[in-house]
């Protein structure tokens, strides 16, 4: 004798969804756990090392030193032309030492960035000289 009643459809229950749901839950917990282990939950890996990243990093530090935007530690901008000048000179030294070893794109980028930063430096120095003493 079978448990089936004649005329009623047979109901098949798929129990596999439970294991799938459990696996998805474990993966989600592992992902949350790995985020909690990092210093910053939304941190992303740094970009790969390249010449353009180096130039961009130095240019950003120069712009902070020229008071274009605040440093991460401070809320207000504070121009420090001496530091900016040192970093611009560092970029110029890098241009001199790498002459002939860069791609056309890298050479063009470095030349443009140096020109723009030098102009910004001159404008900042002029603005500081024209500003009333505080």
Q: Which residue has the higher pLDDT, 63 or 21?
A: 63
Distance (Å, whole) CA 62 – CA 88 = 7
Surface-to-core class of residue 87, CB atoms within 10 Å of its CB (0-12 exposed, 13-18 middle, 19+ buried) = buried
pTM above 0.75, yes or no: no
What are the boundaries of each domain within the chain?
51-130
Write the pLDDT tens digit of every residue in 76-125.
Answer: 888 999 999 999 999 999 999 999 999 999 999 999 999 999 999 999 99
What is the structure's pLDDT at 74?
78
Q: Which residue has the higher pLDDT, 8 or 4?
A: 8
């Amino acid at each position: 004798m079978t448990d089936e009643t004649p005329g009623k459809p047979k109901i098949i229950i798929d129990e596999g969804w439970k294991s799938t749901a459990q696996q998805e839950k474990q993966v989600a917990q592992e992902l949350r756990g790995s985020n909690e282990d990092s210093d910053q939950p939304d941190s992303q890996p740094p970009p790969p090392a390249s010449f353009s990243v180096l130039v961009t990093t130095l240019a950003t530090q120069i712009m902070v030193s020229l008071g274009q935007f605040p440093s991460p530690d401070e809320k207000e901008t504070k121009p420090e032309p001496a530091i900016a000048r040192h970093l611009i000179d560092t970029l110029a030294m890098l241009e001199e030492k790498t002459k002939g070893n860069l791609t056309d794109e890298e050479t063009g980028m470095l030349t443009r960035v140096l020109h723009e930063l030098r102009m910004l430096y001159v404008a900042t120095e002029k603005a500081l000289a024209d500003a009333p003493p505080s």
